[in-house]
Amino acid sequence: MSNPQSRLAELGIDLPTPAAPVANYVACVQTGSLLVVSGQLPLLNGKLFATGKLGGAVSVETAVEAARYSMINVIAQVKAAVGDLSRVRRVVRLGGFIACTPDFTAHASVMNGASDLAVAVFGDLGRHARSTVGVPSLPLDAPVEVEGLFEIA
């Protein structure tokens, strides 16, 4: 059975340097065996992969990729916090925020970009509870933001 780091390699994913917080908060907080990861934007090479809103200029396909990049950044924060992704006992919950017009309703499809990656990287341990909500805007005009809750060994 492969571990999360080898699964990332199989998927061709190199984790980026985690983004530093831009305000008065920390990227991760661990309490007991739980690690909470602050919301991560879809950064690719330090820049937003996409900007705008669903139901407007951003397609569902682009937003699914944005959710995937956000999840890559969540995983990078986990690795920075705990050192070894094999310490993840469970992806407990993901939260997704989708910047969209009021008539957009395909939030779940967009968030699957993050959820599918969680399962691809962590296997059955990546199956998680989830909330996905539409919002009028996100920082830097990002279309998606993903946060996570992990159980750590």
- What pLDDT score was predicted for residue 1? 55
Question: What average pLDDT is seen over the chain?
Answer: 97
Sign of CA dihedral 54, 45, 71, 33: negative
> Which domains does the chain carry?
4-12+31-152 (3.30.1330.40)
Determine the average pLDDT of the residues in 82-108.
Answer: 98
Instruction: Give pLDDT, residue 86.
Output: 97
Q: What is the mean pLDDT of residues 106-120?
A: 98
Q: How confident is the model at residue 146 (pLDDT cuts 50, 70, 90)?
A: very high
Answer yes or no: are the C-beta atoms of 42 and 74 closer than 8 Å.
no
Q: How confident is the model at residue 67 (pLDDT cuts 50, 70, 90)?
A: very high
Over residues 20-44, mean pLDDT: 97
Give Cα separations from 89 to 32, 33, 64, 127, 149 (angstroms).
Answer: 13, 9, 26, 11, 11
